[in-house]
Structure 1
Amino acid sequence: MSDLNLLFEMGFEKEKAELAIKKGGNLQGAIEWLETNQDKTIEELKAEEEFAAPTAPDDSQANSLVCQECGKRMRGTAEAEYHASKTQHTDFEQSTEEIKPLTEEERATRLEELRAKLAVKRANEAVQDKADQKRNEQIRMKSTKETQDIKEELQKKEQIKEAEKKRKEKQDDIDAKKRIKAKIEADKEARRLKAEQEKAARAGVAPPVQPAAPAMPTTSGPATSKPASAYTEARLRLQTVNGTVQKTLPVETTLFEVAHQLAQDNGTEVATFTTNFPKKVFDRTDFGMTLKEAGLVPSAALIVK
């Protein structure tokens, strides 16, 4: 198996392996060059090769390079450049002394060391990838929950709005039926009176005294004394920790909906509603009651806690 194929088998990318063989000259030199440049990308290595200083030592005419500042001996320019980047040493000289080549056992050991370093690097990358995936999943889940919370809040508002609409439609229908019934009764009474007048005229007697026509029922008008069951709206005075709030709501509005409106209006979180006269406490178990069922019609003053 060729030196290049050995590097492929160890997991090095093609361009980096080819450059390592070119720089090192053989498998031993390639391994040392790869160790020296293991943290550099192929783009960085190509750039270094393209823009290398023309005055750099030419190791093709020498067997080694020696650092004059620390005495370390190196096989070529790549190793010298790495040494300079780590130590800031810049004084190198060529030497005709050849560095003893690695034995088969040393080469095998260096290969194993390099494989171990690669394994550690890949393991660290795998751990980092896993951490990144976990963080991204947490971000996604948080975003999903926030979106779901917003959607549920909108749905709740739509449900309340729809319930209020249906109650209004129901009340409008009741009022319309009352007006139709009253109109029918008025027409019936008018026909009766007309028949009596015609009968009196034929008999030559005075017509009977006509009573005042009853008023047509309306949904609004001057306040009159009437039973609570006749009211369609309730006036509430709500004393909260954030101030006093006054509301006029349909009698079919539930205490839960009143609590929700207070939370939306001024941030009041409602646990109980309390009336003073008569003394009565409505807790969360009572929030399904309507204002009418709770006896808060036509008006009531509530302490909110």
Structure 2
Amino acid sequence: MSSDLDQLADMGFDREKAQMALKKGGNLPSAIDWLDKNADKSMEDLKADEGEEESALPQAGASANSMVCNDCGKRFRNMTAAQAHAERTGHDDFAESNEEIAPLTEEEKKAQLELAKQRMMERKAKQADEDKAAAKRNDEIKRKHTKESEDAKEDLKKKEQIKEAQQKKKEKADDIAAKKRIKDKIEADKAERKRKADEEKAMRANPAAYDPQGAGSAAAPGGAGAALASAQAAKPKATHSEARLRLQTPGGNVMKNFPAETTLFEVAHALQEESGVQASTFTQNFPKKVFDQGDFGMTLKEAGLVPSAALIVQ
């Protein structure tokens, strides 16, 4: 028949720890309870605890052969077994006894061993249920935190999309307003040029209406020669009606002819339509001039680009 120590070793317990358990419990079931309770402790910790317990035991108890629980009448071989009973049942009234407890029979040992195994399995099952419940709670907390994090990210993404849409809307409105200002300036410049052209045409058709003193002097002796000289002096100088431009783009040079009254905005539009190049500025190296979008309402003649010019498109 194998010993209690061999049975504990066969159950997978460390022999040194099992030996200490038998010493403290006094029997196989109590030893199993003790081993299960102290499963997480090392031998160093258990030996330290044993030293503290021995120093704390009263000297009078050294002569006792057993302990008895006054609450339920159960007897125990030693103080350690009584303490285990107290922790398990909550009983706290114990007394020393000189009565020696008879050794357990093999049948009693087997019965207590089965009972101890059953208790140990119940404790393990209970601990497994508690661990499962704790894992479930942790999973729920984790899912909650994950959902909150995802909701926060989604909310931030929506805010960024709204902000981006508002920015694009503002940029579009600014672009429309800028184009309208350029168009209004072009229309105003055209109207001013037409007014000046109509005025010059009227002056050429009826010079006397704009210079009555000169017309009267033409009737006086010698006035014909003076009128002829005045007419020749008033004759407009020869003007160029066309501008030849060399436009340097990122894709190469583009040569084009435009009427002198063409605006820089119209040049940029034609360049984009034909070459796909979007011009934001025109730069003339000599003399050094930079025409930005605020200048696009100027005609080529007003910009000094007639009869020819070389421009860098950017």
TM-score range, shorter chain: 0.5 to 0.7
Using the TM superposition, give the Cα deviation of residue 150 of structure 1 relative to its aligned residue in structure 2, in angstroms.
2.0
Give the Cα separation in 2 of the matches to 1:121 and 1:148.
Answer: 40
Aligned to 2:150: 148
Mapping for residues 131-280 of structure 1, pairs under 5 Å: 131-203=133-205, 204=207, 206=209
Look up the equivalent residue of 2:178 and give its one-letter code: A
Residue identity in the other structure for 1:32: S
Q: Retained in 2: the 8 A contact 1:65–1:76?
A: yes
Residue 137 of structure 1, CA deviation: 0.7
Distance 1:125 1:84 in 2: 21
Query: For 1:53, which of 51, 57, 63 is the aligned residue?
Result: 57
Deviates more, 1:187-196 or 1:73-82: 73-82
Contact kept in structure 1, 2:18 and 2:31, CA below 8 Å: no
Deviation readout 1:123-174 (Å, 9 max, x if unpaired): 1111111111111111111111122222222222222222222122112211
1:91/1:109 CA distance change after superposition, 3 Å: closer
* Structure 1 position 120, deviation (Å): 0.9
Corresponding residue number in structure 2 for 1:115: 117
CA distance in 1, matches of 2:84, 2:173: 88
Check if 1:32 corresponds to 2:30.
yes
> Aligned partners of 1:178, 1:192: CA distance in 2, in Å?
21
The equivalent residue for 1:124 is: 126
Identity of aligned residues (%): 46
Letter in 2 for 1:114: A
Relative distance call for 1:72 and 1:109 in structure 2 (3 A) is closer
Deviant stretches of 4+, over 6 Å: none
Residues 1:36 and 1:191: Cα distance change in structure 2 (over 3 Å)? closer
Deviations 1:227-274 (A, max 9, x none): xxxxxxxxxxxxxxxxxxxxxxxxxxxxxxxxxxxxxxxxxxxxxxxx
Unpaired stretches in structure 2, ≥5 consecutive residues: 211-314
CA distance in 1, matches of 2:141, 2:73: 54
Q: CA deviation digits over 1:60-79, x for unaligned, max 9?
A: x66x3253957644322322
TM-score, normalised to structure 1, is: 0.54
Distance between the aligned counterparts of 2:163 and 2:128, measured in 1?
A: 52
Name the CA shift for 1:148/1:82 in 2 (closer, same or farther; >3 Å): closer
Aligned to 1:76: 78
Distance in 2 of aligned mates of 1:74 and 1:55: 18
Q: Structure 2: how far apart are the matches of 1:162 and 1:109?
A: 78
Rate the CA distance shift 1:185–1:80 in 2: closer, same or farther, 3 A. closer
Task: State the SS of the aligned residue for 2:59.
Answer: coil
Amino acid at match of 2:190: K
The aligned amino acid for 1:141 is R
Q: 1:5 to 1:173 in 2, by over 3 A?
A: farther
| Distance in structure 1 (CA, Å) of the matches to 2:47 and 2:119 | 20
2:18, 2:35 within 8 Å by CA — same for their partners in 1?
A: no
Partner Cα distance (2:122, 2:169) in 1? 70
Show the counterpart of 2:276. none
Q: List alignment gaps of at least 5 residues for structure 1.
A: 208-305
Going from structure 1 to structure 2, the CA distance change for 1:90 and 1:109 (only over 3 Å counts) comes to closer
Cα 1:141–1:192 change in 2 (3 A) is same
Q: 2: distance between equivalents of 1:71 and 1:113?
A: 20
CA deviation string 1:8-66 (max 9, x = no partner): 443546664232133357xxx243344478556755885354243241522xx66x325
Offset at 1:5? 4.8
Distance in 2 between residues matched to 1:148 and 1:77, nearest whole Å: 59
Contact 1:67 1:93 survives alignment (8 Å): yes
